[in-house]
Amino acid sequence: MSTVVINPIVTEFLEHVNDLSLDDLNHLIDSVKHEQLARRADEVKAALARLASLGVSADEIAAVVKPGASRPVVEKIKVAPKYRHPENPSLLWSGRGNPPVWVKDLDNKNVSRDSYKIKPEESE
């Protein structure tokens, strides 16, 4: 296991970590987690203060970040269907992502996808 050392204090500490008891290690882990959460809270408060200084409201922030989400929510773009089932026109597929069961079934029957591809004049 390679360790990236940023601070000489960490290097010295790691030389003695094997001497700690299991209880000491658990206490150390709890203390580090507590400190990490406290520092993260401070960083979040500072970031929110910076946004407030720019005139960004809490409602604007909430509009782009889901509660509990760790990253902004990106709205999905609706894509026009590219394929229509030859016998059941209500079954559509955009051609993106994994193909639906009906496309796999047609593939297994060696039906060319071009044969049920939606032509520009047919698109909804």
Does 117 reside within a domain?
yes
Does 94 reside within a domain?
yes
Do 60 and 80 lie in one domain? The reply is: no
Question: Tens-of-pLDDT digits for all 124 residues of the chain?
Answer: 565 657 888 888 888 888 888 998 889 889 999 999 999 999 989 988 898 899 888 778 777 766 666 665 566 778 889 999 999 999 999 998 899 999 999 999 999 999 999 988 765 5
CATH number of the structural domain spanning residue 107:
4.10.430
Residues 122 and 119: their CA atoms lie apart, in Å, by 5
Rg (CA), the chain: 28
Does 1 reside within a domain?
no
Q: Which pTM value belongs to this model?
A: 0.42
Distance of CA 67 to the CA centre of its chain: 14
Containing 84, the helix (H) or strand (E) segment is strand 83-84
Angle CA 6–7–10, to nearest 5: 105
Does 69 reside within a domain?
no
Q: Which domain holds residue 111?
A: 76-124
